[in-house]
Amino acid sequence: MGHATYGKPEITFLPGGKRVPAGEGETIFDAARAAGVPIASSCFSEARCGSCLVRVVRGAESLGKIRIDEKDHLPGPGYRLACRARVFGPVAVERMRDPGESLPLPPGGRA
């Protein structure tokens, strides 16, 4: 506790624990997309919809600064917009909105 751990930029998605590598300074959103992890969005990552909200479970110090356009959407400390939070070290986050919830997948694929 209380010690910052610096290392390679990497995002762990909880609760599943899927780990996704990120480029230095890449947004959580872009790194997740590149790795096939869906993140809800209805504003094309323009910091307008708030759908990409995540809770930062670990490694908040590994994320870039919160700017005003992001801050407007945050319900409180410990939350970030995936489309605005830039990754500079290991972090663990939890998606607040699962895009799968609103887009049910057909069972067993298409006929």
- Token pair for 85: 């939070």
Q: How far apart (Å, rounded) are the C-alpha atoms in residues 65 and 98?
A: 25
33 binds ligand FES (CB under 6 A): no
27 binds ligand FES (CB under 6 A): no
Q: Which of 9, 13, 28, 41 binds ligand FES (CB under 6 A)?
A: 41
9 binds ligand FES (CB under 6 A): no
Q: Which of 48, 55, 74, 89 binds ligand FES (CB under 6 A)?
A: 48
| N-term to C-term CA, the chain | 52
The DSSP bridge partners found for residue 11 are: 20, 91
- Token pair for 77: 């400390």
Interface ranges with ligand FES (CB under 6 A): 41, 43, 45, 47-52, 81, 83
